[in-house]
Structure 1
Amino acid sequence: MTVITTIEDLRVLAKKRVPRMFYDYADSGSWTESTYRANEADFQPIKLRQRVAVNMENRSTATKMVGIPVKMPVCIAPVGLTGMQSADGEIKAARAAEKFGIPFTLSTMSICSIEDVAAHTTAPFWFQLYMMRDRSAMKAMIERTRAAGCSALVLTLDLQVIGQRHKDLKNNMRATVIPSLGNLFDMATKPRWCLGMLGTKRHTFRNLVGHVKGVSDMKSLASWTNEQFDPTLSWADVAWVKEQWGGKLILKGIQDVEDARLAVASGADAIVVSNHGGRQLDGAQSSIRALPDIVAAVGSQIEVWMDGGIRSGQDVLKAWALGARGTMIGRAMVYGLGAMGEEGVTKALQIIHKELDVTMAFCGHTDINTVDQSILLPGTFDFKTA
């Protein structure tokens, strides 16, 4: 039996168990994938300051994100097609997050719908929205989010146009999940995955099919989706979403100090320093390198979180020390889900929490809320701020 001790162990197992087209969809970046790789690699030079002979009893990693109590400063990021990593994947991930005590964010491009997740969970989850040209469809989706009792809306700002992801093109991944003949042969080598999919009716984008005018099947969905991402997105649109929603609003996709200041002016409750997991602008700096300047500029005015490259609890602690008051994990969750379903998501969260807790203790702290930049060795990171 394989002993799982790291997120990397889960990734290796997921690669064996998930069909290539869906594994590659989650585990890839745009163009050369340089930003995708940098997101993870840029955590490594940051070194921790070990302390000894301090009382390490009664430790707590608990804090709050937009006023919501969390077991650790981590939430599950929105990931499209999560339900193709494992049958009913969004439901499984949401249940794991609820039991663990952190928020789950459902993607607009999910396989399980808002209503599906609401029916299988009791804790309020979050919903991620893309800005679409069809404002009536967006308004209806916001109303469904409210009806489901979601406690926050995450508006993703960095997908006005879609970055080119070479692996998706080679795997014939488009706006549909209709596999090619080669993909069908690959699926046949993944019996565990196939059995799971045979046991569920959820195989399409259920937030859209049957809910958006003119979208009744995969063909009409593909046509609608290709036309809908809105390249004209502006801060006026953000204000419109805020007005329609009326609740806690989180803006995801901030990489620039000027944009961070505009986000503060928009009245958002939190921003997420993110480059979409390296899936959009290849050649952009990593999220962890973008973080300090943004924290210096607006961290006293708004909650700043970060997303991208987190593969351990140490990464979470380093991000916190650099000023992030929350983090989002996407691929770490996906690896767990693809490897072992709901149990795998729980395992991923346990790994991250254990590493966060123990590393915090070695750095001389027993409460995450007392941790600051002093736990990092000077000179091991570019701390230049704006």
Structure 2
Amino acid sequence: MIFNPHKLGLHKILKHIPLNAIFDAPYKRKLARAVNIADLRLIAKSRAHKMVFDYLDAGADDEISLRRGKDAYSEFEMHYKVLAGIKPPLDLSTKIFGQDVTLPFFGCPTAGNRMFHWEGETAAAKAAEHHGTMYGLSSLATTGITEIGELFNGPKVFQLYVWKDRELVKDVLAKAKEGGFNALALTVDFTWYGNRERDIRNDFSIPPKYNITQTIEAIRKPAWTYDFLSHEPYTYACINTDVPADSLAAFVNSQLSPEFSWSDAEWLLGEWNGPAAPKGVVRPEDAKKAIEIGFSSIWVSNHGARQLETSPATIDVLPSIRAAVGPDVEIIMDGGVQRGTDICKALALGADAVGVGKPYLWGLAAGGTAGVIKAYDILKVELDRAMGLLGTPTVAALKKEGPSLIKRRPGSARDYPDMYAYERGYGGGVV
């Protein structure tokens, strides 16, 4: 039996007792002192319920792909030019899905943002507006399409899963168009639900089960808990506001369509009739097929290493996919990004834009809108510094000269026998 305090109306009482500022004060101080994404992760871990943090932080099975996806960037060296005569400021602007943006990276569409902080998707949208970049909304978002459309007028991409119900698909696509979304991302690597063992160990549920273990953890994390208890319960608002958050697993399992095929994708493209990318491509032949049937862009991704264990690091397959589709097809890449140098390497090796997931969600869990803006600030400064030191004043120059600047380190190892190296390898400072 799941005890749900929202059904008792507790949030209607607590919302009039403004204790959030008191509980969040120490995390605001930590956020101000954070110097890298690793620091944001540590703040998120200290603030969020363990079950929620692990849901965000985890990968599939033994988390081999999760570790490799991060560490793969370290195998590429940056062979910088000297005396390049660059005059600041650098130009980080580019286009994503044909839309002008001031940064070549953006927050990937991710599910259930209000799970991490009560501001949820609105915090990510505000950060995108603050930095002039694209915003991505998941079809399993906890904030509605209309609300995001009214809040953020900039370029937006809507993410869709391979649902069975075509009427549901058509309804969601129509809402996305009405909400001003410019592009569509079809997630093609989620036909089965990945094995996230941290979730199993934590008895993950939405909302939390109020057993002894979960209650003790909620008491240990008062800032997250008070946020959760003092705000309205959330639903998966892009699909149907009548679908409560605690029905997520049942809904997803009932709607995922493993038999979804290339012909179904063609039908979807006809319904959308606009810029679109298959999100989850790691094979060159799949990228070529996608372009042949009408996708305008390719999204190289392995779902944050949360689906098929030992799937390849996306930065490793990126060059082969660029070679397969040629120089004129837009490629977006996500996966393992922790630094602005990672973004720089991805752009140099063939990506036109880079999506980030965990970094901005750690920022969200650490401090809402301020935390997401901080994550973008950190990545922007690091990217700017990397481009300047490389000798590339613009994103266009970085992409043009990339193959001569970024080279795989000779003799680099890809063996990670220590399964705990990932946790120790973040290297966050004391915050």
How do 1:9-158 residues align onto structure 2 when only pairs under 5 Å count?
A: 9-58=39-88, 59-158=90-189
Return the structure number with greater helix share: 2
Structure 2: how far apart are the matches of 1:219 and 1:285? 32
Q: CA deviation at 1:188?
A: 2.4
Q: CA deviation at 1:199?
A: 4.2
Q: 1:34 and 1:234, CA in 2 relative to 1: closer, same or farther beyond 3 A?
A: same
Contact 2:153 2:180 in 1 (8 A): no
Report the counterpart of residue 168 of structure 1 in structure 2: 199
1:345 to 364, 372, 380: 372
Q: 1:27 and 1:381, CA in 2 relative to 1: closer, same or farther beyond 3 A?
A: farther
Code of the aligned partner of 1:86: H
Structure 2: how far apart are the matches of 1:52 and 1:235? 48
Contact 1:256 1:294 in 2 (8 A): yes
Structure 2: how far apart are the matches of 1:100 and 1:380? 37
| TM-score normalised according to structure 1 size | 0.93
Report the counterpart of residue 7 of structure 2 in structure 1: none
Decide which moves more: 200-209 or 83-92. Answer: 200-209
Structure 2: how far apart are the matches of 1:381 and 1:334? 34
Q: 1:335 and 1:381, CA in 2 relative to 1: closer, same or farther beyond 3 A?
A: farther
Structure 2: how far apart are the matches of 1:97 and 1:225? 28
Q: 1:54 and 1:360, CA in 2 relative to 1: closer, same or farther beyond 3 A?
A: same
Q: Rg larger in 1 or in 2?
A: 2
Q: Does 1:297 align with 2:324?
A: yes
Contact 1:131 1:233 in 2 (8 A): yes
Q: What stretches of structure 1 of length at least 5 have no aligned partner?
A: none
Task: Give SS of 1:83's match.
Answer: helix
Structure 2: how far apart are the matches of 1:122 and 1:231? 35
Task: Give SS of 1:47's match.
Answer: strand
Q: 1:116 and 1:198, CA in 2 relative to 1: closer, same or farther beyond 3 A?
A: farther
Contact 1:47 1:380 in 2 (8 A): no
Q: CA deviation at 1:123?
A: 2.4
Report the counterpart of residue 427 of structure 2 in structure 1: none
Q: Does 1:244 align with 2:271?
A: yes
Q: 1:187 and 1:67, CA in 2 relative to 1: closer, same or farther beyond 3 A?
A: same
Report the counterpart of residue 189 of structure 1 in structure 2: 220
User: Residues 152-190 of structure 1, C-alpha deviation per residue, up to 9 Å, x if partnerless?
Assistant: 11110000011111011122225x434342223312222
Code of the aligned partner of 1:367: T
Contact 1:209 1:221 in 2 (8 A): no
Contact 1:88 1:111 in 2 (8 A): no
Report the counterpart of residue 35 of structure 2 in structure 1: 5
Contact 2:78 2:406 in 1 (8 A): yes
Q: CA deviation at 1:104?
A: 1.1
Q: What stretches of structure 2 of length at least 5 have no aligned partner?
A: 1-28, 413-431
Task: Give SS of 1:29's match.
Answer: coil
| TM-score normalised according to structure 2 size | 0.83
